């Protein structure tokens, strides 16, 4: 199950619930223009370094059995452009 919440004009938060009970990798296809992605905890605090977004606009993240994984996608600040 995937839930998405855009927090502002500069980022969106995606939550993934792994319900099958298996390790795996989830690949997100995201809109063009993203500058980075960051795994966060459930309180939306960053965990680890930002993940660069490649030219294909895809971001892959590992998932563990029965886990909730949160991924924040960051976009350039539209007001600064």
CA distances (Å), origin 50, targets 19, 25, 65, 66: 26, 17, 23, 24
Q: What is the CATH number of the domain that holds 18?
A: 2.60.40
pTM: 0.78
**For residues 39 and 69, is the Cβ–Cβ distance under 8 A?**
yes
Largest CA distance in the chain: 44
Phi, psi of 79 (to 5 degrees): -70, -25
pLDDT at 66 over 80: yes
Q: Which domain holds residue 65?
A: 2-80
Residue 72: both structure tokens together: 């924040």
* Tens of pLDDT, residues 1-42: 555 666 666 888 889 999 999 999 988 888 788 888 999 999
pLDDT at residue 81, as a whole number: 47
Give the total number of structural domains in the chain: 1
């Amino acid at each position: 199950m995937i839930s998405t919440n855009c927090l502002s004009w500069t980022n969106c938060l995606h939550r993934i619930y792994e319900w099958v009970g298996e390790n795996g990798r989830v690949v997100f296809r995201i809109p063009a223009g993203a500058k980075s992605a960051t795994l966060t905890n459930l309180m939306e605090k960053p965990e680890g370094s930002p993940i660069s977004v490649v030219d294909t606009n895809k971001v892959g993240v590992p998932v563990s059995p029965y886990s909730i994984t949160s991924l924040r996608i960051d976009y350039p600040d539209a007001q600064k452009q």
